[in-house]
Amino acid sequence: MEFFAWCVMAAGIGMGLGSFGTGIGQGLAIKSAVEGVARNPGASGKILTTMMIGLAMIESLAIYVFVVAMIILFANPFTEEVIKLLVK
């Protein structure tokens, strides 16, 4: 049972770190875009487009972390081997 507790801990820590990193990255991207628009309002269209593409890339990292956490929790390839060891 300890193995499954560690899996839950790993998934939780991974999600926390992934969310923290992507949150910081998105905040910095938006900050830079707002500063760019403040300096040159005429370039707001290009800045907005580039910022949205960048935010989508950053958000994909959070989605990857979520997928890995779900794999650790529900589709762990070592589950059967651990159960066999526990049954012995």
Any idea what the CATH number is for the domain that residue 46 is in?
1.20.20.10
Per-residue pLDDT band at 80 (split at 50, 70, 90): confident
Query: What's the domain count of the chain?
Result: 1
Which domain covers residue 47, as residue numbers? 2-87
- Residue 1: predicted pLDDT: 63
The confidence band for 6, taking pLDDT boundaries of 50, 70 and 90, is confident
| Secondary structure (H, E, C), the chain | CHHHHHHHHHHHHHHHHHHHHHHHHHHHHHHHHHHHHHHCHHHHHHHHHHHHHHHHHHHHHHHHHHHHHHHHHHCCCCHHHHHHHHHC
Whether pTM > 0.85 for this model: the answer is no
Express each pLDDT in 23-69 by its tens digit. 999 999 999 999 999 999 999 999 999 999 999 999 998 899 999 88
